[in-house]
């Protein structure tokens, strides 16, 4: 569901919904309804969010980020419980309908004006390894290089640094420890200009942590969510390398993604580990598929991997020749016809043409 140009309505009362429909129609916007946001992305991308007291409390309990234009809708004068719910979810005001329909219309009209001239959001891809050393960082970099314009985000503070994969470790620009963010909105052009860029990819990575240094690459969920949202609002492809462990930041990255890519080598032990990883990954975002990385020493086919892991195959790739040497000497630059280049484009094709994976065949590639 894409609520970017619409109103997300989380209101149970039918009479209130009738009043809401009348005001929304006057503003020229569409309505998307539900009992709860289906994902963090739906919550953050809606033009306006309308909630009743019960929905406000549920959204607050889920830890959804604070955002602008959240209104609590009531049929009567607000009670103390309504005010508590509004504060909990970060609602800017309480609107009583039909009495205050003019106030609601003003907010919706402002939202409609803000949407004029706004380009489409860029897609968000989260990449996670099925097992330790499974190749998620390399494949995330390959996807970023396959996109026309991309923001590559290092969401794994234990991964050694995406700047080493990309070869941007000596490039000037900000790293995670340099950003002081508490969430909220960021300007993508300003962020892009402040970050290193290499091979057409803008990258936000951690800094070097050497023996004896203080560990400083911890990533908080709110800043990560703000950076992902900024890139998507900026219209570029956002690719996030996600830590293979359930943390608050990992959950945000997975929930924010249009597509989650689980990377696994094509051997039995790796697939068994990937099946375990898939359990918590799909709980955060069911729109998840697997990329199978060769070689297959026991002859496992992509369809076998799909059966073991329990996910559809997005792409299967042969081994990338000379990958170890390339990573040691200047970083990864993916050629279009290489195994990584082909697989990266296949994933972007699935994302752009068919973002819902129920139609992706298990025997893909």
Q: d(Cα 183, Cα 226) in Å, to the nearest integer?
A: 5
What does the pLDDT read at residue 47? 86
What does the pLDDT read at residue 359? 41
Give all strands (DSSP E) within the chain, no chain letters: 6-10, 30-33, 48-51, 70-74, 93-96, 124-129, 150-155, 197-198, 201-204, 237-242, 259-265, 288-293, 313-317
Helix or strand run (H / E) with residue 229 = helix 221-233
What does the pLDDT read at residue 16? 94
Nearest to 326 by CA among 142, 126, 172: 142
Residue ranges and CATH numbers for the domains of the chain are: 6-115 (3.40.50.2300), 124-359 (3.40.50.300)
Rg (CA), the chain: 22
Place of tokens 């889920």: 62
Non-local CB neighbours of 38 within 8 Å, separated by 6+ positions: 1
Residues of the chain with pLDDT under 70: 1-5, 113-119, 180-185, 208-217, 353-365
Tokens of 81: 């419980």
Nearest to 188 by CA among 137, 237, 154: 237
Tokens of 178: 């340099």
SS3 315: strand
CA atoms within 13 A of residue 239's CA, in its CB half-sphere: 29
What does the pLDDT read at residue 180? 64
> 22 — phi, psi (to 5°)?
-65, -45
pTM of the model: 0.70
What does the pLDDT read at residue 360? 44
**Dihedral over alpha carbons 235, 237, 238, 244 (to 10 degrees):** 160
Q: d(Cα 154, Cα 159) in Å, to the nearest integer?
A: 9
Strand partners, 126: 240, 260
Q: How many CB atoms lie within 10 A of CB 339?
A: 20
């Amino acid at each position: 569901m894409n609520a970017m140009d619409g109103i997300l309505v989380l209101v149970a009362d039918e009479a209130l919904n009738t009043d809401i429909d009348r005001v929304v129609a006057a503003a020229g916007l569409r309505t998307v309804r539900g009992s709860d946001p289906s994902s963090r992305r739906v919550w953050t991308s809606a033009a306006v969010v309308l909630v009743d007291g019960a929905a406000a409390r549920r959204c607050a309990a889920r830890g959804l980020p604070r955002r602008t234009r959240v209104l609590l809708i009531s049929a009567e004068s607000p009670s103390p419980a309504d005010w508590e719910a509004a504060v909990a979810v970060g609602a800017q005001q309480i609107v009583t309908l039909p009495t205050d329909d003019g106030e609601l219309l003003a907010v919706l009209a402002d939202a409609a004006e803000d949407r004029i001239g706004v380009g489409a959001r860029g897609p968000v891809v989260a990449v996670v390894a099925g097992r330790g050393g499974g190749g998620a960082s390399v494949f995330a970099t390959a996807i970023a290089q396959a996109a026309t314009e991309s923001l590559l985000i290092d969401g794994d503070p234990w991964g050694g640094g995406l700047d080493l994969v990309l070869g941007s470790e000596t490039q000037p620009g900000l790293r995670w420890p340099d950003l002081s963010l508490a969430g909220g909105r960021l300007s993508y052009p300003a962020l892009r200009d402040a970050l290193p860029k290499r091979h057409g990819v803008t990258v936000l990575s951690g800094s070097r942590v050497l023996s004896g240094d203080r560990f400083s690459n911890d990533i908080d969920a709110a800043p990560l969510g703000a950076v992902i949202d900024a890139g998507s609002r900026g219209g570029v492809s956002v690719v996030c390398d996600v830590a293979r462990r359930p943390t608050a930041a990992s959950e945000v990255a997975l929930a924010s993604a249009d597509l989650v890519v689980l990377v696994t080598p094509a051997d039995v032990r790796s697939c068994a580990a990937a099946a375990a990883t898939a359990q918590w990954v799909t709980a955060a975002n069911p729109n998840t598929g697997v990329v199978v990385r060769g070689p297959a020493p026991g002859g496992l086919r992509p369809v076998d991997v799909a059966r073991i892991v329990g996910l559809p195959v997005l792409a299967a790739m042969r081994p990338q020749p000379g990958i170890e040497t390339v990573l040691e000497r200047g970083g990864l630059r993916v050629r279009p016809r290489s195994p990584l280049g082909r697989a990266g484009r296949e994933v972007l094709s699935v994302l752009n043409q068919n973002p819902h994976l129920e139609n992706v065949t298990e025997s893909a590639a």
